[in-house]
Amino acid sequence: MSPLATIVGMAAITYATRWVGLRFTDLRLPPFWLDFLRFVPVSVFAALVVPNLSGPPGQTPARVLAAGVAGLVLWRTQRMWLGLLVGMGAFWALRALLG
């Protein structure tokens, strides 16, 4: 498949899903689906973070510990921005300490 066809296909699917979401704004979902959709942002975030925990050689311990610190902050404060800020600070500090 050509790169242009791939890009056009991805754009069409993205446009279609957004159109459906905007078209059916007054749609009432059953409680099961509301509970299910509540966990989508968390699972997407985890899918983006977990594969990058290993990183370059020698950074794995710092990355895993920083992710644990960020997770603890997120759990205690429920503030995503604070978890990201503390997690990045912990990573930089641990990377400097652990070499």
Mean pLDDT of 83-97: 94
Burial class (CB in 10 A: 0-12, 13-18, 19+), 62: buried
What pLDDT does 56 receive?
A: 87
Mean pLDDT of 77-95: 94
pLDDT band at residue 77 under the 50/70/90 scheme: very high
| CA dihedral of 43, 31, 72, 95, whole degrees rounded to 10 | 10
State pTM to two decimals.
0.60
What pLDDT does 76 receive?
A: 96
Number of other CB atoms surrounding residue 9 within 10 Å: 11
Q: Does residue 99 surpass a pLDDT of 80?
A: no
What pLDDT does 90 receive?
A: 96
Q: Which amino acid is at 14?
A: T
